[in-house]
Amino acid sequence: MTETKAQPFRSSNQDEFWMSERIYVTELMNSPEEPNLSLAKFRVLEGVTTQLHSIGVQEWYVIESGTVLMNIDGDTFDVKSGDCFKIEPHQPQQIKNTGIGDLVFQSMCIPRWTPDTYKNLED
């Protein structure tokens, strides 16, 4: 059996940045060294609705703070702090921050998210 030695790695961009999806992103773990998984923290400003989109990978949300109206493949859900949500690959998705203050959540993707997995459904 071949053993792989444990090695630390980092995401190439750990600073919060703006995406045209109308959302702020911090890549917590997203690296070619670990292609099977990515983890990011997202922040949506009060009253903002994100871009309707889909991604080609499995995604899970964990809501850290705030309340949100989620539209997943045409179905809507009221989701709040502490709730988790699973989104299948290629499902249309959009969220609206319905609370007071920023909505903050984490997203885990399997396999890892890369820009080529993202599809804007508004254009």
Query: Model confidence over 69-101: pLDDT tens digits?
Result: 999 999 999 999 999 999 999 999 999 999 999
Of 3.90.79.10, 2.60.120.10, 3.40.50.300, 3.30.70.270, the CATH number of 18-120 is: 2.60.120.10
pTM above 0.85, yes or no: yes
Task: Specify the residue for token string 């609705």.
Answer: 49
Q: Whole-angstrom Cα distance, residue 114 to residue 106?
A: 16
Calpha distance 119→27 (Å, rounded): 19
Tokens 């045409």 identify what position? 74
Tell me what pLDDT residue 2 has: 61
Helix (H/G/I), strand (E/B), else coil: 44: strand
pLDDT in tens, 43-58: 999 999 999 999 999 9
Q: How confident is the model at residue 5 (pLDDT cuts 50, 70, 90)?
A: confident
The answer, yes or no, to whether residue 12 has pLDDT greater than 90, is: no
